[in-house]
Amino acid sequence: MALMTADHVPVLATELVALLDPQPGEVAVDATFGAGGHARVVAERLGDDGLLVAIDRDPAAAPRFEAFSAEVPCHTRFVQAPFAQALAALCDEGLRADMVYMDLGVSSMQIDTPARGFSYAAEAPLDMRMDPTTGPTAAELLATWDARRLAGALREYGEERYAAQIARAIVRERERRPLTTTTELVDVVTRAIPTPARFASGHPAKRAFQALRIAVNGELEQLDAALPLAWELLRENGRFAGISFHSLEDRRVKRFLAELARGCICPPDLPVCRCGRTPQAELLARGGTTPGADELAGNPRARSARLRGARKLPTTEASTA
């Protein structure tokens, strides 16, 4: 997620608004409110009669939402919860939205608050919880997971080539002393990676920190649960958009939308369709939209961002697609 300040525009904001096409009086659900950057540009288009529901699991988002709510023209509502749980609750209460969007991953506010422990660039306690009031910290996972489980997380969530070596190094180090700070973890990871590879593609601890953060917060499990709930929440002709920052997220969004957009699955040699399957979605931004050169010049953190989206087809339109 991008940092939203008075003079900063969130990642792919123009492209997101073009894809969602918010109209006066519509209902929007921002599943990852953060600093409210995307919410602000959407809310301005909803007008006095519109509603924007903001979701964030981080308690620190609540005061930012209060300030945002006082400044935008539309009605607003805040739900503090992981987005899968929040979307499920909204579905259960019968809310229907014209658009649902999510800006996935860790927010710049979280990264830029050293005490949260997300950054490998500053010394801090190894926390990494998006909601610091619940669940095990990164330090607790490092203290209790065996080498096999650690290696699996590093490999799956961080796509770390040296996952096994790093996991073994963590286990050896914790037998000597607990790993409790970011700098201690950076030191262990750096020493576990072969010297030629340490600075071959960015900071040597980048992938390990990503993996640990994803594991602590159950981010991919949340995303897998949230995508169908977001789709259920949409009215006919409603629009969904997702901004991803690494391939693990993007593949999930891409596969989910592609499956919804898929029609007949009968064998190609069958003269007439017998499966009766019709597309539920029209893909928007095929192939995904990435930031342009001007945006990257102002915000290098946007480099890996990719926007995907789809429109929910009406039943009659889907049956004739």
Closest CA to 102 of 212, 5, 234: 234
Question: What confidence score (pLDDT) does residue 4 get?
Answer: 39
For β-strands 51-56 and 75-80, DSSP reports them as parallel
Provide the pLDDT for residue 47: 96
φ/ψ (deg, to 5) at 76: -140, 160
pLDDT at 5: 38
Which phi-psi region, left, alpha or beta, contains residue 94 (left: φ > 0; alpha: ψ -120 to 50)? left
Q: Measured at the alpha carbon of residue 224, what is the angle toward residues 221 and 225, in degrees to the nearest 5?
A: 85
- Asked if 189 and 208 touch (Cβ cutoff 8 Å), the reply is yes
Q: Is 56 buried (19+), middle (13-18) or exposed (0-12) by CB count in 10 A?
A: buried
- The 3-state secondary structure of the chain, one letter per residue: CCCCCCCCCCCCHHHHHHHHCCCCCCEEEECCCCCCHHHHHHHHHHCCCCEEEEEECCCCHHHHHHHHHHHCCCEEEEEECCHHHHHHHHHHCCCCEEEEEEECCCCHHHHCCHHHCCCCCCCCECCCCCCCCCCCCHHHHHHHCCHHHHHHHHHHHHCCCCHHHHHHHHHHHHHHCCCCEHHHHHHHHHHHCCHHHCCCCCCCCHHHHHHHHHHHHCHHHHHHHHHHHHHHHEEEEEEEEEEECCHHHHHHHHHHHHHHCCCCCCCCCCCCCCCCCCCCEEEEEEEEECCCHHHHHHCHHHHHCEEEEEEECCHHHHHHC
| pLDDT for residue 292 | 93
| Token pair recorded at residue 238 | 């409603």
Residue 320 confidence (pLDDT): 60
Q: Where do the domains of the chain lie?
A: 13-103+219-320, 120-217
**Domain 120-217, CATH number (from 1.10.150.170, 2.30.33.40, 3.50.50.60, 3.40.718.10):** 1.10.150.170
CB neighbours (10 Å) of residue 191? Answer: 14
Tokens 């409603």 belong to 238
**Which one-letter amino acid corresponds to residue 305?**
A
Query: What does the pLDDT read at residue 55?
Result: 98
How many beta carbons lie within 10 A of that of residue 182, not counting itself?
Answer: 26
CA–CA dist 124, 142 (Å, integer): 15
Can you give the pLDDT at residue 74? 98
Residues 7-64 pLDDT 10s = 446 999 999 999 999 999 999 999 999 999 999 999 999 999 999 999 999 999 999 9
Q: Which residues of the chain have pLDDT under 70?
A: 1-9, 317-321
- Among residues 199, 195, 171, which one has the least CA distance to residue 185? 171
Residue 43 neighbours by CB under 8 Å, 6+ apart? 28, 50, 52, 68, 72, 73, 74, 76
State the pLDDT at residue 299: 87
Q: Write down the CATH number for the domain with range 13-103+219-320.
A: 3.40.50.150
13-103+219-320 shares its CATH topology with 120-217: no
What pLDDT, on a 0 to 100 scale, did the predictor assign at position 308?
98
**pLDDT value, residue 268:** 82
Both tokens of 202, joined, read 């960015």
**Mode of pairing for the β-strands spanning 306-312 and 281-289:** antiparallel
pLDDT of residue 318: 61
Is the pTM of the predicted complex or chain greater than 0.85? yes
